[in-house]
Amino acid sequence: MKKLSTHALQGAFWNVLIRNTLFVITFIGNIFLIRMLVPGDYGTFALILSIVDIIFIIGSLGISNACVYYHDDDPDVFETGMVLSWVLALILVCASFIAVIILNLFSLYSGLVLLLILLTSIVNSLNIPTSVYLANIECNLDFKKSALLTFVGPILGLLVGLWLANNEFGIWALFYKNSLAVLLTFVIVFFISKSSIKFSYSKYISKKILRYGLGIFYQRVSEIFSIRLPMFLLSFLAGVTVLGLYERSRYLAQLQNTVLDTVFGKVAFTIYSKVKNNSKAVTKGCQLTLLFVSRLSFLSALLVFYYSDFIIALLFGNEWKESSGFLQGFSLLIISSSLYGPMLYTAMSRGILKSVTVVTIVMGFINICGLTIIWLTGLDWSLFSWVPGLSITIGCMWLSLILLHNGIKLNWVPIIFHSFMLVAVSIFVKELSAVYYSETIQILLILIVWSLLTFAINRNEISYLYERIKK
């Protein structure tokens, strides 16, 4: 039987390969979509998604995570989990109808926005049973199949969105892009895939799932408080256009994490859950993940900080030039969220949920305080993009102490100190080359120097991964 480390590396390889391919395709498509639409369209749809996430608070019970966590103890856990997921999806659809009726009574939003909130809620409820089904596949360590099943939906949704945007359908293009991605993935997973889960219910197993899920629930609710609620408030205080600039800048800044989070949340969480009682193995896995993630995130943050104007003009066009200030502020978020993700899933795999919830609530409180201060003082709204990075940096330090208390001792010197050394050398290269070369050549030189130094500093870790992948 293959070692779990081999499964982990193979799973990570296929996830990165397939999802990076999907990422490249959707990223290119999204660039065209952004150029066809205006910040107000994205701001309105970001507001709709924020409201839907708030309505879906009860949907954050983490049934799929609970099934993964208990799978080795009870292989039939997914059968009960599937029943619970459909019940929860039905409850969310009913909750969406009630929420839209209440919003309509207070005349808070236009009829179009209310309709899109309702339709988006109904479609997104299918994500719950889909996630349980995919988690079952991943528990059998078939990460390649899981990634392939989620490949087609987003691409077809994007193509339809582009066609609608080109025909001036505005916000409807974003709605159909999102909805078709969810619907097609659901259809592929349930009706085209050859795997299946029986529907059966066990009261004992359901109690275990809900007990673990309750911890996930509090943590996910705190995430909504930390991310979606500030965006919801930003739309009220600054308007949907500013929210659109903020949201698209954050999308661009989080591209790296969008790809890597699937490795943290699917491969790492599944493998760590299987060896949750082996602190040494979990520590080694988390340490290596943080090391390589730090090299990518510090490089990305450096480029975003110094070349935000160039990046926005190149990708989004001149209509979005106001978003460059937001993008620059997200440079801190790129680093902090990249480090926070692996630690978060490490903590979840060991059942450390209450402490994570407290950390996330504090981060949300910092975000709301920062938003309030900027509003009261009349400062430029682009400064708010620094606040999430600051809050997650504090969260990283706190979470590392929590992991240390639970037997996960991480060595931060190669992760942070060596990354800052690379940043210092890269800044020197940037300043030196700025006198003679264009921004494109400067970026290319920084990439070359960073890659060479990373290979020199981390050649042992790179060799270790290479040998594992060969096996």
CA 127 to chain centre: 15
* Structural tokens at position 393: 């940096």
Residues 34 and 104 in one domain: yes
Last residue of a domain, one of 179, 196, 226: 226
Longest dimension (CA), the chain: 71
Find out whether 345 and 388 touch, Cβ atoms under 8 Å.
Answer: no
Higher pLDDT, 287 or 469: 287
Report the share of the chain in percent with pLDDT over 90.
Answer: 30
Q: Per-residue confidence at 251, pLDDT binned at 50, 70, 90?
A: confident
Find out whether 269 and 41 touch, Cβ atoms under 8 Å.
Answer: no
Q: Tell me whether residue 237 is in a domain.
A: no
The chain-wide mean pLDDT, for the chain, equals 83
Q: CA-to-CA distance for 120 and 231, rounded, in angstroms? A: 18
User: How does 257-289 read in b/e, with b if 16+ C-beta sit within 10 Å?
Assistant: bebbbbbbbbbbbbbbbbbbeeeebbbebbbeb
Q: Tell me whether residue 385 is in a domain.
A: yes
DSSP conformation letters of 259-292: HHHHIIIIIIHHHHHHTTT-HHHHHHHHHHHHHH
Q: CA-to-CA distance for 471 and 469, rounded, in angstroms? A: 5
**The residue to which tokens 């205080």 are assigned:** 237
Find out whether 380 and 392 touch, Cβ atoms under 8 Å.
Answer: no
Q: CA-to-CA distance for 250 and 260, rounded, in angstroms? A: 16
- Amino acid identity of residue 337, one-letter, is S
Q: Tell me the pLDDT tens digit for each residue of 98-136.
A: 989 998 888 878 888 899 999 999 998 898 888 888 887
Q: Tell me the pLDDT tens digit for each residue of 149-188.
A: 888 889 999 999 999 999 988 899 999 999 999 999 998 8
Pick from 425, 413, 428, 426: which is nearest to 458 by CA? 413
Higher pLDDT, 284 or 427: 427
Residue 324 has pLDDT above 50, yes or no: yes
Residues 140 and 24 in one domain: yes
DSSP state of 109: S
Residues 312 and 381 in one domain: yes
Q: Tell me whether residue 414 is in a domain.
A: yes
How many other CB atoms are there within 10 angstroms of residue 464's CB atom?
12
Residue 344 has pLDDT above 70, yes or no: yes
Find out whether 11 and 264 touch, Cβ atoms under 8 Å.
Answer: no
Last residue of a domain, one of 166, 197, 226: 226
Residues 367 and 292 in one domain: yes
DSSP state of 381: G
Pick from 407, 401, 411: which is nearest to 279 by CA? 407
Residues 298 and 374 in one domain: yes
- Structural domain including 99 reads 1-226
Q: Tell me whether residue 82 is in a domain.
A: yes
Per residue, the 3-state secondary structure of 146-163, as one string, reads: HHHHCCHHHHHHHHHHHH
Torsion of CA 249, 228, 337, 431, to 10 degrees: 20
Higher pLDDT, 197 or 203: 203
Q: Tell me whether residue 233 is in a domain.
A: no
Please tell me the least confidently modeled range out of 92-101, 334-343, 349-358, 384-393: 349-358
Q: Tell me whether residue 267 is in a domain.
A: yes
Residues 109 and 257 in one domain: no
Residues 342 and 439 in one domain: yes
| Residue 158, C-beta contacts closer than 8 angstroms, at least 6 positions apart | 25, 26, 29, 30, 33, 177, 181
Residues 197 and 265 in one domain: no
CA atoms within 13 A on the CB side of 351: 12
Q: Taking residues 374-380, what's their average pLDDT? A: 93
Q: Tell me the pLDDT tens digit for each residue of 33-65.
A: 888 888 888 888 888 888 887 777 655 567 777
User: Strands, E, within 28-108: which ranges?
Assistant: none
Residues 217 and 246 in one domain: no
Last residue of a domain, one of 167, 191, 226: 226
> What is the reported pLDDT for 48?
87
Higher pLDDT, 108 or 325: 325
Q: CA-to-CA distance for 260 and 256, rounded, in angstroms? A: 6
Higher pLDDT, 15 or 240: 240
**The residue to which tokens 């989080």 are assigned:** 254
Residues 114 and 27 in one domain: yes
Q: Tell me the pLDDT tens digit for each residue of 282-315.
A: 888 888 888 888 999 999 999 999 999 999 988 8
- pTM score, whole prediction: 0.76
Q: Tell me whether residue 236 is in a domain.
A: no
**The residue to which tokens 């993008």 are assigned:** 327
CA 320 to chain centre: 23
State whether the Cα torsion 235-239-243-246 is positive or negative: negative
* Structural tokens at position 342: 């692996």
> What is the reported pLDDT for 469?
59
Residues 262 and 167 in one domain: no
As for how many domains the chain has, the answer is 2
Q: Tell me whether residue 232 is in a domain.
A: no
Residue 210 has pLDDT above 90, yes or no: no
Q: Per-residue confidence at 1, pLDDT binned at 50, 70, 90?
A: very low
Residues 93 and 173 in one domain: yes
First vs last C-alpha separation in the chain: 13
